[in-house]
Structure 1
Amino acid sequence: MGFFKNQFSNVVEWEEFRDDMIFWKWNNREIKKGSKLVIRSGQDAVFINNGKIEGIFEQEGVYNVDSDIIPFLSTLKGFKFGFNSGMRVEVLFVNTKEFTVRWGTQSPILIPTPQLPGGMPIRANGTFNFKVNDYVTLIDKIAGIKESYLVDDVKVRITSVLNQLLMKWISKEGKDMFNLQANADAIAAGIREDLDMQIMGDGLTVTGFQVMSFNYPAEIQEMITKNASYQMIGDLQKYQQVSMTDGIASGKVAGGGAASDMAGMMMGMNMANEMLKNMNGGRGQGQGQGPAAGPNSGGPSAGAGAGQPSAQQPPAAPAPSSAPGNVTRPNFCPNCGAKNEGANFCPNCGQKLV
């Protein structure tokens, strides 16, 4: 025991821990008698000798190499002979947590669609999750040649194939190209399976893939919004009237231009037509009630009692004539100046002319 009394006691621990680091390798140093192994929460320690895994320690805590570690590393040369000299062994510290990474398309993806011969340009963004699940494969493919491995390294690997996978699964599951969000879950599930196959060979697994939003070009989004408005209102003619009124009220259709004149004329004609319909409806109701009081409907003589004088109702006053000879109408509207062709209301602004 005197041989080890003055020797330095190494501490084997993850010295450069970072949240975005997947693994870090402790190497090029000797593990001596009295050394300690420190494993923190969310870490595993993998002892490697000549590329072969000699032991995996998963529980957090502080371990004494001579009493806690050696029994699990008895196959190592030097350890089984009483550990009389230092031993160079690599220790791979692995971050066991699940990593969450944001992704987004760098440029629009042109999705083939019959509506647009050149394809629908779409951007998308979301998140994906992954973790380490196979230490043997991880050491064989990555840790054997790298001292550390970062989340950004995996992100580069995944985003390099993401555009092709988005195109594949949008074309397959995007039943409504103008409402891809409705099928986002099915699209994401397909992409997750393909991405898992991509990184499975590195000892990693994709545990989740989410699409937060699909983004269309501004002109396409405007068309989608207008289409939704048409469906909400239901009546295209009513939508045009509302849009025209809103445009005039907001000042977007103003001034003496052709658009303003056209909007004003159409709105005036629509108002005049509605007023004429209302007047004609009122007259029809009044005329329909007249005959009920006439003599042919069993008038007062039929309902009068004996000895009572029969009372005859006075004739109803004739409705005002709309003949041009009876009423004088101005040739031009006093409100807007539009020419009048003998109508009771101005066809442009709806002004009453009689």
Structure 2
Amino acid sequence: MSFFKNQFANVVEWQEFREDMIFYKWSNHEIKKGSRLIIRPGQDAIFFNNGKIEGVFRDDGEYDIESQIIPFLSTLKGFKFGFNSGMRVEVLFVNTKEFVVKWGTQNAINIPAPGLPGGMPIRANGTFTFKVDDYIALIDQIAGVKDRYVVEDVKIRITSILDQLLMKWISKEGKDMFNLQSNSFDISKGIQEDLDMQMLKSGISITGFTVMSFSYPKEIQDMITKNASHGMVGNVDRYQQIELTDGMASGKMSGGGAASDMAGMMMGMNIANKMMNQMNQPTPSQTPQPPSQVAEGDGGQKRPNFCPNCGTKTGGTNFCSNCGQKLIS
């Protein structure tokens, strides 16, 4: 700790406050006797020296540093102001609110897909929220070398790894590449957990992450829209077969670009798989014929159709007409 005879400060406060500023470090001044600390709503004031936290003050208001602050500092409780001397410390003001940030992929991400060597080009956008969670980690990793930190700094860190995380969670568990919106909740949850682990080291917690929408190349989006609209009024499988056949016959698919070729290939594979499944299904079994009726004699006993003695057809009588053998025992 150093003491000087000039550059004394009467008021310790967050100067040049901005809504997008995460923290502001008050430094390069000495606190003299009679100085005041001003904490505004939504701010915490952290006194620290040589990277070590001396005290954290969370309630907004105006405080006398000598009587209301110094007695609560960890190692400076016994400090006494001299005639022309002051106390040199650093005060970190932290914005305690939750920040909301919009994000979007700058370039299309090629997501691996079966049958598509180059991958499916997809863009996405949404929002994420964060707040400062660990003051010790924040001072150790960021505030120790920076005087201020803004939302844009965090956004740059997030977007630098976001493409990899999108690829990871979209590709996981074989999600439907043409209906990613239905899986947006699971994708968002997985990305949030990964981002939180990354930023936690810097004292920042990712409190939310949302994928608002996915977008495809125009050719693919047109096909998805057609399938969706046709599904409301008819058989989608039949529609896909007709569209694919018409496209091949007219030659439209040959000049539609790589995205159109990929979509046609995947649509054709889907149709072929469905046709094979239908061919492999077992045919319905024949309706069983009713069992032939067997003549019964008196008392419910069965009568043979042929004489067991001579083989003559019985004709429904009780005795064989040829040899007289009794047919009912």
- TM-score tier, shorter chain, comes to 0.5 to 0.7
* Structure 2 counterpart SS, 1:233: coil
2: CA distance between counterparts of 1:36 and 1:119? 61
Compare CA radii of gyration and give the structure with the larger one. Answer: 1
Letter in 1 for 2:230: Y
1: CA distance between counterparts of 2:218 and 2:228? 15
Q: Does 1:180 align with 2:180?
A: yes
Q: Does 1:145 align with 2:145?
A: yes
Letter in 2 for 1:142: I
Give the conservation status (yes or no) of the 8 Å contact 2:133–2:205: yes
Q: Deviations over 1:200-238 (max 9, x none)?
A: 110111000000000011000011112223322325899
1: CA distance between counterparts of 2:105 and 2:78? 55
Report what 1:83 is aligned to.
81
* Structure 2 counterpart SS, 1:83: coil
Letter in 2 for 1:211: V
1: CA distance between counterparts of 2:9 and 2:175? 65
Report what 1:157 is aligned to.
157
Give the conservation status (yes or no) of the 8 Å contact 1:129–1:208: yes
Identity among equivalent positions (%) equals 70
Give the CA deviation at 1:112.
1.0
Q: Deviations over 1:273-324 (max 9, x none)?
A: xxxxxxxxxxxxxxxxxxxxxxxxxxxxxxxxxxxxxxxxxxxxxxxxxxxx
Dislocated runs of 4+, deviation >6 Å: 236-240
* Structure 2 counterpart SS, 1:124: strand
- When structure 1 is superposed on structure 2, of 167-176 and 210-219 the one drifting more is 167-176
Report what 1:16 is aligned to.
16
2: CA distance between counterparts of 1:189 and 1:237? 33
2: CA distance between counterparts of 1:169 and 1:16? 41
Structure 1 residues 196 and 235: alpha-carbon distance in aligned structure 2, compared to 1, 3 A threshold:
closer
Structure 1 residues 148 and 8: alpha-carbon distance in aligned structure 2, compared to 1, 3 A threshold:
closer
2: CA distance between counterparts of 1:145 and 1:229? 56
Give the CA deviation at 1:83.
2.2
Report what 1:198 is aligned to.
198
Give the CA deviation at 1:194.
0.4
Matched ranges for 1:37-56 at <5 A: 37-56=37-56
User: Number of aligned pairs?
Assistant: 233
Give the conservation status (yes or no) of the 8 Å contact 1:47–1:89: yes
Give the conservation status (yes or no) of the 8 Å contact 1:74–1:80: no
2: CA distance between counterparts of 1:237 and 1:48? 68
Report what 1:226 is aligned to.
226
Letter in 1 for 2:168: K
RMSD: 2.2
1: CA distance between counterparts of 2:110 and 2:61? 53
Give the conservation status (yes or no) of the 8 Å contact 1:173–1:183: no
Letter in 1 for 2:55: G
Structure 2 residue runs without a partner (length 5+): 1-6, 244-329
Q: Deviations over 1:4-24 (max 9, x none)?
A: xxx976100001211111100
Give the CA deviation at 1:189.
0.2
